[in-house]
Amino acid sequence: MTTTPEQLAFTDRVADFYAREYGFPPVAGRVLGYLFVCRPPQQTIAEIAEALLASRSAITGAVTLLSGHNVVRRFRSAGQRVDHVTLDPRALDPGGFAGEIYREQADLARTALGLLEDGDSERRAMLEEGLAFYEFLAERMPALRAEWHARRKELGHRK
């Protein structure tokens, strides 16, 4: 498949977003953006490298990073000699709705407040606000997760 200028511009937008918001290297964002729009949806490392004008080693590193975040998956079908990469359906699982991670962050903020000496009011205020925010998210996320599952069902999506 020939990559169009519009697709390349899109992959750059995805790269910018994921670099800014999640600290991903730009090549990882470009791989993700390409997998959003490429045909067929399964691509080899060589095909991705050619489409994005990048080295195979850069693409391999990006795929390793993205697969570690359950955003893409790498697989090899029986009888094939090369791996294919595609979007991982688990990327859409609402793991971010789990309250546990926010409870853990709240606990870290609470512990930091206990260790912080009384004199640093600006940092203390920041940690207190963080603690309140993480407790709020931990409390609200289970309800949001349930709302999302209901909406997803209404839309006719999985489960």
Those residues whose C-beta lies under 8 Å from the C-beta of residue 81, and which sit 6 or more positions away, are none
Q: How confident is the model at residue 12 (pLDDT cuts 50, 70, 90)?
A: very high
Query: What is the reported pLDDT for 123?
Result: 83
Contact 61, 106 (CB under 8 A): no
37-41 LR contacts (CB < 8 Å, sep 24+): 37/7, 37/10, 37/11, 38/1, 38/3, 38/7, 39/1, 40/1, 41/86, 41/87
Report the alpha-carbon distance of residue 97 to residue 101 in Å, rounded.
Answer: 9
Question: How many beta carbons lie within 10 A of that of residue 125, not counting itself?
Answer: 10
Query: What is the reported pLDDT for 159?
Result: 55
Owner of token pair 């090899």? 76
Query: What is the reported pLDDT for 117?
Result: 73
Query: What is the reported pLDDT for 92?
Result: 67
Query: What is the reported pLDDT for 65?
Result: 96
Query: What is the reported pLDDT for 120?
Result: 66
Q: What is the DSSP string of 74-121?
A: EE--TT-SS-EEEE-GGGGS-GGG-HHHHHHHHHHHHHHHHHS-TT-H
Mean pLDDT in residue range 31-40 = 93
Mean pLDDT in residue range 59-75 = 94
What percent of the chain has pLDDT above 70? 94
- The DSSP symbol for 149 reads H
| pLDDT tens, position by position, 71-120 | 999 998 888 889 999 998 877 666 667 788 889 999 999 999 988 877 66
